[in-house]
Chains A and B, each alone.
Chain A
Amino acid sequence: MAEGPIVSFRQVGKTYPNGTVALTDASFDIRRGSIHAICGENGAGKSTLMKILFGLESPSAGQVFIDGAAADTATPDFAGKHGIGMVHQHFSLVPILTVTENIILGHEPRSSIFIDRTKARRQVVELSERFDLAVDPDARTDTLSVAAQQKVEILKALSRDTRLLILDEPTAVLSPPEIEELFNRLRDLRAAGMTILFISHKLHEVRALAETVTVLRAGKVVGTTPLAEVDDAEITRMVMGRDVDVPRRQRQTTSAPVVLELAKVSTRSHDPADRIEDISLSIRADEIVGIAGVDGSGQRGLVSVLSGLMHPASGSIRLSGADMSRAAAPAWRKAGLAYLPADRYAQGGTASLSLADNAIAGTDGDKALQWGPFLRRGAIRQRVQQMIADYAVRAGGTGERLDSLSGGNAQKLIAARELAGSPKLLIADQPTRGVDVAAAALLHGRIDQAARNGAAVLLITADLDELLRLADRVLVLFNGRIVADLANHAGLTPAALGPYMLGLEKAS
């Protein structure tokens, strides 16, 4: 067996056909038999790197060396040939199959034409004992807890002579004792000679488990360093980047009436993204409250209870004094909610219909646009052209399909629709994700304008620059709870938010 690093990335870059640059010039080594952590914000290039290493995508520049030899990436048998196993954040287990069936799928032991079930079961039991990962080989996978499913996923990854195991955000779905157990198993694996690549947002976990960390930011490797040689502040700075200050929003008044008020709101859900616990917050008119937090910390649950898609299990929600805890989606809209959903095409609009259709959807009963049941084509065209002009939507005409627009232009049109009239409450969920700089600036201006016109604004964003630019107050969500409530003053930087978002600190 060769000495030296098990994997070396050399000047690896990846540019997608649509022009997105996901990775540039990435170079680092993974030491044999170590636990190596990869850190970085959403969109920093972690998953692209993993896809290349797992053979799902080929790099557009550079080389990957495995055991010192240049490897031919993105071939179907790449992972199998090199003994690389991967545990995805979203499990790739077939829900209706048993644990054994899932583990042997694709390489079943046979006796004549049948699956050798005794042998298959024995393999699973042996594997489970060898790596001390207890699972019931005969249970149907969808009846298992998430933690147990993860064990199955790990066993599946280990079932094919694996020497390098990739785990993508493995703790996101686990409770603390389950995390502790997982870490013990991973340490055992390392002791048995396995190399582990551990991708995580959470700094204390990285520190607890790994010996080396590579930090990615905006598609570039910021650094690879032994954890013993850096402190948390240093890593946070590497992850979050420069402490450049941004211009901030000025409120006209801080004494406007409270519009939205949540008192001890909790939801029940299996999915951590939908789970919030004991959330109390209030937003005044002309106030923008920003929510920071790594993906899946409960943002989706918060938005769902504030738009009528989900009802809280406990707690109360009031909008301008009226109880909205049990209100459904139409009631929320009637009460003055405007909502820019994170998923533009599944919720914010309908891809296959025209810009005009998308722009006037939901304006039922608007006498200016309707004459009895009929739509006034002329008035609609005028209104939509006005919207297109106001929001600088670059489009061929009002009759084009929504999905013919770029992401930024589609989002501008959706914002034009949602912000028409004067909303009382605006929820902006990732309003500028995947949007070009000019469009983002315009959207920021409109969100600010909506607040000035008296709306209470809840801004949920993974883009911390955007958060600091717009928000008057920043709440940090972690595991469904608010762990920090910070006034946004000139001194607040991404680096200062980092420890809360990564779960290192908690402000009361």
Chain B
Amino acid sequence: MIEFFQAIADPAVVATVLRVMTPLLLAALGVLISDRAGVLNIGMEGIMLSGALIGVLVSAATANPFLGLFAALIGGGMLGALMALFINGLGTQFIITGIALNMAALAATTLGLFLATGDKGMSGALQSGVLPNIDIPLLGGIPVLGPLLSGHHMLTYVAILAVPTVAIMLARTPFGLHIRAVGSDPKAAAAAGVSRNRVQFHALTLSGVFGGAAGAYLSMGYVSWFAQNMTAGRGFIALAAEVMGMGTAWGTFAAAAVLGIAETVAITMQTKGLPNELMQMIPYIVPAVMLTVYAARRQAKARSNS
């Protein structure tokens, strides 16, 4: 047990947890915003994948990873907006819209990669940049805590700062209030003059921006390449994380942290010689188990109430 806690406090372990948690957290916050507005973003997987490719392409073209990140954010936002246009403009169901976006993104990113590099698998031929880690000057100097808090990836800090930001946005701003109202009861919101279409458009756009950031992190966070289908279901795990987080930013943070720890355990165990594939299952089984336990408890509670 003591060994376990020592392992947990190890700066290297903390760094790994944060590293694997970052894209999940960004994507899950994006899913959260869409879900609170009543249009769960199933297309997160596809938006992340698109963001990852756009980031690499723009970064390679401009030799500037920040421009790549910026383009990924814009691209993600545009895909989210496109979903909203389909859902509220053409009347497609949001689940099918998300599935279609995922299919289209997988095809389009492979296509885009091929057009840019002549290769369908990897973008190795492109000279793409890496977004930097940030050393926090004073914090880094503190013993014990310093190495835990400083020196992580810039998007890791962004993701963690996004948690209170999203929480405050939802709780304290007119936009957040409108999101909660539309997601909970669109008719009542409409009676108060709050338009569902407009709010869901903005919410999905913002959700897409988060997805773009999560995707950019995958292709420009620690590596400098894009690979076909490199999200590998992380968008779906983010979906599960959001559901586990019970619709709050802090809950989503906790769920993403649990999943990050699960993945870290999986990675650590792999290095200890346990079968790679079984460990890779962990981040997918944990959300299913937690989701089910949560649902079972809610059901039991509902029964005892009636």
Which positions in A face B, CB cutoff 8 Å?
Answer: 76, 80, 88, 91-97, 101-102, 105-108, 110, 113-115, 117, 156
Q: Which 3 A-B pairs have the closest CB atoms?
A: A106-B192, A92-B191, A106-B193
Is B44 positioned at the interface, with any CB of A under 8 Å from its CB? no
Whether B185 lies near A95 (C-beta < 8 A) is yes
Which residues of B are found within 8 Å of A92, using beta-carbon distances?
185, 187-188, 191-192
Is B177 positioned at the interface, with any CB of A under 8 Å from its CB? yes
Map CB proximity to A onto B170-190 as digits: 1 under 8 Å, 0 otherwise. Answer: 001110011011001101110
Residue from B180, B181, B185, B192 having most chain A Cβ neighbours under 10 A = B192
Nearest A residue to B190, CB-CB: A92
Whether B172 lies near A96 (C-beta < 8 A) is no
Nearest A residue to B175, CB-CB: A113
Provide the main secondary structure of the chain A interface: loop
Whether B174 lies near A115 (C-beta < 8 A) is yes
How far is A53 from B180 in the complex, measured between Cα atoms in Å? 29
User: Taking the nearest CB of chain B, how far is it from the CB of A301, in angstroms?
Assistant: 15
Whether B191 lies near A97 (C-beta < 8 A) is no
Which residues of B are found within 8 Å of A108, using beta-carbon distances?
174, 177
Whether A105 lies near B173 (C-beta < 8 A) is no
How far is A115 from B180 in the complex, measured between Cα atoms in Å? 14
Which residues of B are found within 8 Å of A101, using beta-carbon distances?
177, 181
How far is A93 from B174 in the complex, measured between Cα atoms in Å? 17
Which residues of A are found within 8 Å of B177, using beta-carbon distances?
97, 101, 105, 108, 115
Is B194 positioned at the interface, with any CB of A under 8 Å from its CB? yes
Contact residues of B between 182 and 222, Cβ < 8 Å to A: 184-185, 187-189, 191-194
Nearest B residue to A93, CB-CB: B188
Known: A105-B189, A105-B194. A94 touches B174 (CB 8 A): no
User: Taking the nearest CB of chain B, how far is it from the CB of A378, in angstroms?
Assistant: 38
User: Taking the nearest CB of chain A, how far is it from the CB of B285, in angstroms?
Assistant: 31
Can you show 7 pairs from A to B with CB atoms below 8 A apart?
A: A92-B191, A94-B189, A97-B177, A105-B178, A106-B194, A115-B177, A156-B192
User: Taking the nearest CB of chain A, how far is it from the CB of B125, in angstroms?
Assistant: 44
Whether A94 lies near B172 (C-beta < 8 A) is no
Partner of B180, one of A76, A88, A94, A117: A94
How far is A504 from B194 in the complex, measured between Cα atoms in Å? 42
Known: A94-B181, A96-B180, A105-B177. A114 touches B188 (CB 8 A): no
How far is A80 from B172 in the complex, measured between Cα atoms in Å? 25
User: Taking the nearest CB of chain B, how far is it from the CB of A86, in angstroms?
Assistant: 9
Known: A105-B181, A106-B193. A113 touches B188 (CB 8 A): no
Which residues of A are found within 8 Å of B185, using beta-carbon distances?
92-95
Provide the main secondary structure of the chain B interface: helix
Which residues of B are found within 8 Å of A95, using beta-carbon distances?
184-185
Partner of A96, one of B184, B191, B192, B193: B184
Which residues of B are found within 8 Å of A91, using beta-carbon distances?
188
User: Taking the nearest CB of chain B, how far is it from the CB of A505, in angstroms?
Assistant: 36
User: Taking the nearest CB of chain A, how far is it from the CB of B197, in angstroms?
Assistant: 13
How far is A115 from B193 in the complex, measured between Cα atoms in Å? 17
Which residues of B are found within 8 Å of A115, using beta-carbon distances?
172-174, 177
Residue from A91, A92, A94, A106 having most chain B Cβ neighbours under 10 A = A94
Whether A110 lies near B184 (C-beta < 8 A) is no
New contact pairs (20) apart from A95-B184, A105-B189, A117-B172, CB-CB < 8 Å = A76-B193, A88-B191, A92-B192, A93-B188, A94-B181, A94-B185, A94-B188, A94-B189, A96-B180, A101-B177, A105-B177, A105-B192, A106-B193, A108-B174, A108-B177, A110-B174, A113-B173, A114-B173, A115-B173, A115-B174
User: Taking the nearest CB of chain A, how far is it from the CB of B301, in angstroms?
Assistant: 15
User: Taking the nearest CB of chain A, how far is it from the CB of B164, in angstroms?
Assistant: 14
How far is A105 from B188 in the complex, measured between Cα atoms in Å? 10
Which residues of B are found within 8 Å of A94, using beta-carbon distances?
180-181, 184-185, 188-189
How far is A399 from B182 in the complex, measured between Cα atoms in Å? 40
How far is A76 from B193 in the complex, measured between Cα atoms in Å? 8
User: Taking the nearest CB of chain A, how far is it from the CB of B133, in angstroms?
Assistant: 30
Which residues of B are found within 8 Å of A93, using beta-carbon distances?
185, 188
Known: A92-B188, A92-B191, A106-B193. A97 touches B180 (CB 8 A): yes
User: Taking the nearest CB of chain A, how far is it from the CB of B199, in angstroms?
Assistant: 11
How far is A117 from B176 in the complex, measured between Cα atoms in Å? 13
Which residues of A are found within 8 Å of B184, using beta-carbon distances?
94-97
Whether A97 lies near B192 (C-beta < 8 A) is no
How far is A17 from B184 in the complex, measured between Cα atoms in Å? 31
How far is A458 from B159 in the complex, measured between Cα atoms in Å? 63
Nearest B residue to A112, CB-CB: B173
Nearest B residue to A108, CB-CB: B174
Residue from B174, B178, B184 having most chain A Cβ neighbours under 10 A = B174
How far is A143 from B181 in the complex, measured between Cα atoms in Å? 16
Nearest B residue to A117, CB-CB: B172
Which residues of B are found within 8 Å of A76, using beta-carbon distances?
193
How far is A96 from B177 in the complex, measured between Cα atoms in Å? 11
Contact residues of B between 44 and 62, Cβ < 8 Å to A: none
How far is A105 from B178 in the complex, measured between Cα atoms in Å? 7
User: Taking the nearest CB of chain B, how far is it from the CB of A85, in angstroms?
Assistant: 11
Nearest A residue to B186, CB-CB: A94
Residue from A80, A102, A107, A115 having most chain B Cβ neighbours under 10 A = A115
User: Taking the nearest CB of chain A, how far is it from the CB of B186, in angstroms?
Assistant: 9
User: Taking the nearest CB of chain B, how far is it from the CB of A435, in angstroms?
Assistant: 28
Whether A97 lies near B181 (C-beta < 8 A) is yes
Nearest B residue to A96, CB-CB: B184
Which residues of A are found within 8 Å of B194, using beta-carbon distances?
105-106
How far is A426 from B194 in the complex, measured between Cα atoms in Å? 46
